[in-house]
Amino acid sequence: MIRKITEEELLAQQAYVRAFRHLPGRPETYHIVTYGCQMNAHDSEKLAGMLEAMGMTAAPTREEADFVLHNTCCIRDNAERKALGNVTWLKEIKKIRPSLLIGVCGCMVQEKGMAEKILNQYPFIDLAFGTGNQYKLPELLYRAAEKRERVVAVEEEQSTLAEGLPIRRESPWQAYVTIMYGCNNFCTYCIVPYVRGRERSREPGDILREVEQLVRDGTKEIMLLGQNVNSYGRELAGGWTFAKLLREAAKTGIPRIRFMTSHPKDLTDELIETIAQTPSVQRHFHLPAQSGSDRILKAMNRHYTAEKYLDRAEALRAAVPDIGLTTDLIVGFPGETEADFEDTLALVEKVDYDSAFTFIYSPRVGTPAASLPDQIPPEVSAERIDRLIKAQEQHTEKRLNALIGTRQEVLVTDFSRRDETMMTGKCGRNISINFRGTKADIGRILPVRVVSAGRTTLRGEKEIQEASHE
């Protein structure tokens, strides 16, 4: 059952917020280190929002902060190792500065057995809480700071939805908007359903009110977030689909809409039509394929074949010819033969992606694939991923070069990293474009003509604006 946090629960947390502000000798500054996907990045914005409400200010580095919070990811082994390594490093700082409070939260904490491991093996961690307890941060931090006792809170039940929390957004121009939490798909390699719980859709009214507020605040682009946005609304009354939500979101007048992530099995014609008919939905579609082998896709529990996937990709291209497709691919899934891998290469050739995220399969404890026989030796996976990356690079080069001479709308977000006279932003296809400009361009959507292509980014020239594109 899904349950929204009640008014009383919200008030209880607000009481801790006030009490914390008056706590003598309390931590004054915080620093959040974020790992993992956009969900986690957005969770960190919510955590920061709560910490600011508690009277704390952001410290630019971990070394300067009174409270360091690690928002962790456990999707692959290396993500987990990185987080634990960094937490352990803080132990040394704590020896010099015993008042330092160390916290961990996020997906890793929610893993089975992790709470005990933290208690036993990482005694210098003061505060640990799972993805289902985030809204209780004021209370948990108050307890850790007041009594200097260790606080570990991991809720088994993740059916709680918290609305109405403050959010400290990283960017004034771009905003994440969660539309659903959790995942029901149980791909056999994936830990997300175990650490993020079952699928829960937010009420459309709550989502649209948030988007309307963002429009009033001057936000230019929203990214609607969910592990499988295509199944949005299934458990809601009123016949809500993701396509319908997109149409309603577009009516708010938000200039640009993006979304992440789509599962190919649930990609409907209704959604494709909606994208084609809604100009504010950007011309980029991330459609994780994972593999091009039907045998492996079945073992992954993905519920589609390579042919079905290609059919969806073609339907997208037919309806929206200028759309850029990107994907996620895994190599070295248990039992993957050379022939299976070649099917993945063949898929990459056929789809002609703008870019692809490629991963070596990482066994996750508790997932079905981890106990499958025939795990692939690391050197075989390493060789395959090299070949896959090289194959995709050719397509990226081709797709980027084909954009030379076109006019792209760029949401300017920053100076270019290498050159202070150059500005950077992304076009609708989600590709970075650098062009000569000034600080005044930041936060605006500008027409830019593409003049050349690098390996992963484009170079452009600002076009003279005849009319305002704001």
Q: How far is the CB of 230 from ligand SAH (least distance, A)?
A: 10
Contact segment (CB under 6 A) with ligand SAH among 159-167, 185-193, 206-214, 403-411 equals 185-193
The phi, psi pair for 350, rounded to 5°, reads -70, -45
Contact segment (CB under 6 A) with ligand SAH among 15-23, 165-173, 361-369, 441-449 equals 361-369
Instruction: Give yes or no for residue 185 binding ligand SF4 (CB under 6 A).
Output: yes
CA distances to 297, 373, 380, 382, 460 from 335, in Å: 11, 7, 12, 15, 45
107 binds, among ligand SF4, ligand SAH, ligand F3S, none (CB under 5 to 8 A by kind): ligand F3S
Instruction: Give yes or no for residue 73 binding ligand SAH (CB under 6 A).
Output: no
CB 299 within 8 A of CB 335: yes
Q: How far is the CB of 322 from ligand F3S (least distance, A)?
A: 29
Residue 332's CB is within 10 A of a number of other CB atoms, namely: 21
CB 396 within 8 A of CB 388: no
Q: How far is the CB of 196 from ligand SF4 (least distance, A)?
A: 8
CB 354 within 8 A of CB 399: yes
State in Å, rounded, how far the first CA of the chain is from the last one: 43
Instruction: Give yes or no for residue 42 binding ligand SAH (CB under 6 A).
Output: no
The phi, psi pair for 23, rounded to 5°, reads -75, 120
Instruction: Give yes or no for residue 358 binding ligand SF4 (CB under 6 A).
Output: no
Q: Which of 42, 263, 384, 429 binds ligand SAH (CB under 6 A)?
A: 263
Q: How far is the CB of 222 from ligand F3S (least distance, A)?
A: 19
Residue type, 294: D
Contact letters (x/-) for ligand SAH, 386-425, by CB under 6 A? ----------------------------------------
CA dist., res. 65 & res. 51, Å (int): 13
Residues of span 207-236 touching ligand SF4 by CB under 6 A: 227-228
Contact segment (CB under 6 A) with ligand SF4 among 186-194, 236-244, 395-403, 422-430 equals 186-194
362 binds, among ligand SAH, ligand F3S, ligand SF4, none (CB under 5 to 8 A by kind): ligand SAH
Q: Which is nearer to ligand SAH, 265 or 462 (CB)?
A: 265
Q: Which of 50, 54, 65, 190 binds ligand SAH (CB under 6 A)?
A: 190
Instruction: Give yes or no for residue 367 binding ligand SF4 (CB under 6 A).
Output: no
Angle at 272 between CA 395 and CA 201, to 5 degrees: 110
Q: How far is the CB of 70 from ligand F3S (least distance, A)?
A: 12
Specify the residue for token string 């996976």: 381
Q: Which is nearer to ligand SF4, 125 or 313 (CB)?
A: 313
Residue 1's CB is within 10 A of a number of other CB atoms, namely: 7
Instruction: Give yes or no for residue 196 binding ligand F3S (CB under 6 A).
Output: yes
- Strand, coil or helix: 305: coil
Instruction: Give yes or no for residue 326 binding ligand SAH (CB under 6 A).
Output: no
Instruction: Give yes or no for residue 135 binding ligand SAH (CB under 6 A).
Output: no
Contact segment (CB under 6 A) with ligand SF4 among 185-193, 246-254, 348-356, 444-452 equals 185-193
CA dist., res. 376 & res. 324, Å (int): 32
Instruction: Give yes or no for residue 263 binding ligand SF4 (CB under 6 A).
Output: yes
Q: How far is the CB of 231 from ligand SAH (least distance, A)?
A: 11
Q: How far is the CB of 38 from ligand SF4 (least distance, A)?
A: 12
Instruction: Give yes or no for residue 70 binding ligand SAH (CB under 6 A).
Output: no
CB 227 within 8 A of CB 37: no
DSSP letters of 85-126? HHHHHHHHHHHH-TT-EEEEEEHHHHSTTHHHHHHHH-TT--
- Nearest alpha-carbon partner for 202 in 53, 50, 73, 42: 42
CB 396 within 8 A of CB 423: no
101-106: strand order across its sheet: 57-58, 29-34, 67-72, 101-106, 127-129, 151-153
Q: Which of 17, 59, 69, 75 binds ligand F3S (CB under 6 A)?
A: 75
Query: Dihedral through CA 373, CA 301, CA 72, CA 256, nearest 10?
Result: 150
Q: How far is the CB of 315 from ligand F3S (least distance, A)?
A: 28
Q: Which is nearer to ligand SF4, 83 or 192 (CB)?
A: 192
- The residues binding ligand SAH (CB under 6 A) are 75-76, 189-190, 192, 227-228, 261, 263, 288, 290, 328, 330, 359, 361-362, 364
- The residues binding ligand F3S (CB under 6 A) are 36-37, 39-40, 73-75, 107, 192, 195-196
